[in-house]
Amino acid sequence: MPRPYPRRLAGSLLLAAALALPAAAQTTPATRAQDSLFVRQHYRKLEQLIPMRDGTRLATILYVPLDASQARPYPFLMERTPYSAGPRGTNAYPTRGPGPSRELSQEQYIFVYQDVRGRYLSEGQFEEMTPALPPTGGGKPAKGRGKTAAHDESTDTYDTIEWLLKNVPNNNGRVGIMGISYPGFYATASLPNAHPALKAVSPQAPVTDEFMGDDARHGGAFFLLDNFDFTNYFDVPRPKPLAEYAELFPLKIADAYQFFLDLGPIKNANQAKYFNGRARIWNEYLAHDTYDAYWQARNIRPHLTGVRPAVLVVGGWYDAEDLFGALHTYQAIEKQNPSATNRLVMGPWSHGAWSRPDWSQFGPLKFGQNTAEYYRRTLETPFFNFYLKDKGNFNAAEATVFDTGTNEWKTYPAWPPKAAQARPFYLGGAGQLATAPTSAPADEYVSDPAHPVPYAEGILSSRNNEYMVQDQRFASQRPDVLTFQTLPLPQDLTVAGPLVVDLWVSTTGTDADFVVKLIDVLPDDAADPAPGAANTTLPGTQRLVRADVLRGRFRHSFTTPEAFQPNVPTEVKYELNDVLHTFKKGHRLQVQVQSSWFPLVDRNPQQFVNISTAEAKDFQKATIRIYHEAGHASSVSLPMLK
């Protein structure tokens, strides 16, 4: 959950009074000069506090087409957000929009933006990733009215839709919901016991399971860099509704690697000059360091049953926040709703990049097309038009997926493709990555928490999104990173689906992290890129394709961590997020293994202690061994397409 793009804010105004105002009365020369003329010419802005079943009122902004008072009804397209529904005030119009894209704005919907419970100008208490109520069956909302009525994000969505249908004239009785990142979670959370009028839902980069693979932790390892910055802004106490939030503490970082090294053990983040115990969510994240009831209640996936609206799940292969969420939301709906209309789109995007005006390049990679515009014009806009307006058709494939090795869109009747067959590649002696186990002795490295492996090259003040495609030669040159690679490939090789890591390891400590990377190595004799070439990567580049981490104490169970027995070979097996990538003829497959990824991930003391309360003395060097021989053969299995 990164800091959001500036979004729309709202104040409060009686709906009936707003409907009576002519459009010109809601503008001034000053605001006309700075705001979008298109929005003012085509939409009227309304602000309202909508009551929920327990009496809590949620601040909501509507942009109603100016011709909606005629006989032409419009559907609703809604976003529910913790990042502010603004801009606030009847004279303040968004400079873009009012829809989430130019294409949808031109189609004209009744656009609805709502501050979720407990955020900005909405009443009530905010709950991080609100736990879902038990299913009621039959698509009915949870029962009850009044101050003690049970509620969650599904019921708040239901109650909002019910109010909109009854109080906004000239609607066509249909509602769509979409959102990116945290708003993507709220889109997902609308699906259980959905309102009958909810016809189309698009969770985009949705926060889904924060312990397993989204914003808070990956494989149990805490994502320090992102959460330190994010909770400083997001976790400000709010005793009453606020139009704006201030940071908990001033934060200026020149060199993030050095800053977090100097910070020391993670408990030091609660020093007086930083969180000082004031950040409720930060404290919850650290207090719940296993997959306990706190995290399990915040996993929306088990609740995605009885899904009736059409669903379009969207994600980016280079999403540093919620790649896991997109893939696993889609899979949860597929598994639990075999007959649901559920489609997946995965493009060459960082977090939310499909909403940008242009996404033709990411770092050194050039795609030869505007992938964001392609998605919006051929998939997103037709999806909502068809299910909410009966306009056109929507015949998209089950999965529309971008091959990051060939820069081509591919379509499949299922994801992962059923034709993909797992093929193990074994980590062998002398840095070999082979198709059969070797008899070579174990490789080893010393992992030192005082000198952790950086997640990206260079001096960086904040997280560099491009680490997900960065040249890994800076890491392969370190003695605490093991590198294994194939011979040059005799033909193209396409990998489609999740990757399975199966390591046999030992450590002289009692805990360790394991970061595994899949890398595409360009030939050393490849020609330098010409001006305007499809990409600007140089010969010999070790281009990262996928990487992730498992905190070793969770190798058997995320609920019951377990120490390593020093120097005893132990299996560590976990899954990396999916890819669709073609390794071209002449390239090499490479795998790197390391035990730190700093400061993206917090440091493991390499002792089986409570990391959130660990002291500086608890952080110890450890010798890590990776085994190769039969019976202890370390490998990475890749789902291969013929």
DSSP annotation of 598 reads B
pLDDT surpassing 50 at residue 70:
yes
pLDDT surpassing 90 at residue 217:
yes
Contact yes or no for 212/324 (Cβ under 8 A): yes
pLDDT band for position 62 (cuts 50, 70, 90): very high
Counting residues of the chain whose pLDDT is more than 90, the rounded percentage is 85
Report which of 191, 196, 621 is spatially closest to residue 447, judged by C-alpha positions. Answer: 621
pLDDT band for position 1 (cuts 50, 70, 90): low
Phi, psi of 511 (to 5 degrees): -155, 160
What residues have CB less than 8 Å from 485, skipping those under 6 apart?
A: 431, 432, 433, 519, 521, 588, 589, 590, 591
pLDDT band for position 92 (cuts 50, 70, 90): confident
Q: What own/partner pairs with CB < 8 Å and gap ≥ 24 does 534-540 have?
A: 534/366, 534/367, 534/368, 534/407, 535/364, 535/365, 535/366, 536/364, 536/365, 536/366, 537/364, 537/365, 537/471, 538/471, 540/473
Residue-wise burial string across 543-581, b where 16 or more C-beta atoms lie within 10 A, e elsewhere: bbbbbbbbbbbbbeebeebeebeeeeebebebebbbbbb
Q: Which helix (H) or strand (E) holds 344?
A: strand 342-347
> What is the reported pLDDT for 138?
63
Report which of 466, 486, 473 is spatially closest to residue 535, judged by C-alpha positions. Answer: 466
Tell me the domain boundaries of the chain: 15-209+298-345, 221-297, 421-641
Instruction: Say whether 635 sits in a helix, a strand or coil.
Output: strand
Instruction: Say whether 393 sits in a helix, a strand or coil.
Output: coil
* More confident of the two residues 186 and 17: 186
The tokens for 545 are 């394709």
What is the spatial distance between Cα 470 and Cα 492, in angstroms, rounded to a whole number?
22
Report which of 285, 60, 79, 101 is spatially closest to residue 186, judged by C-alpha positions. Answer: 79
Report which of 491, 515, 485 is spatially closest to residue 503, judged by C-alpha positions. Answer: 515
Write down the architecture of domain 15-209+298-345 according to CATH. 3-Layer(aba) Sandwich (3.40)
DSSP string, 435-453: SS---PPPEEEEE-TTSPP
Condensed to tens digits (0 to 9), the pLDDT of residues 458-517 reads 999 999 999 999 999 999 999 999 999 999 999 999 999 999 999 999 999 999 999 999
Report which of 489, 517, 486 is spatially closest to residue 501, judged by C-alpha positions. Answer: 517
pLDDT band for position 533 (cuts 50, 70, 90): low
Average pLDDT, stretch 290-301? Answer: 98
> What is the reported pLDDT for 2?
52
What is the spatial distance between Cα 526 and Cα 543, in angstroms, rounded to a whole number?
14
CATH number (3.30.70.2700, 3.30.1490.20, 2.60.120.260, 3.50.50.60) of 421-641 reads 2.60.120.260
Average pLDDT, stretch 346-353? Answer: 98
Please name the amino acid found at residue 608: F
Contact yes or no for 481/592 (Cβ under 8 A): yes
The tokens for 574 are 């976990």
DSSP bridge pairs for 171: 74
Helices 280-287 and 224-234 pack at an angle, to 10 degrees, of 150
Q: Which residue has the tokens 């790197």?
A: 592
> Could you tell me the pTM of the whole model?
0.93
| Reduced 3-state DSSP string for 148-191 | CCCCCHHHHHHHHHHHHHHHCCCEEEEEEEEEECHHHHHHHHCC
DSSP bridge pairs for 548: 516
The tokens for 497 are 């689906």
Q: How many CA atoms lie within 13 A of 258 on its CB side?
A: 8
Instruction: Say whether 588 sits in a helix, a strand or coil.
Output: strand
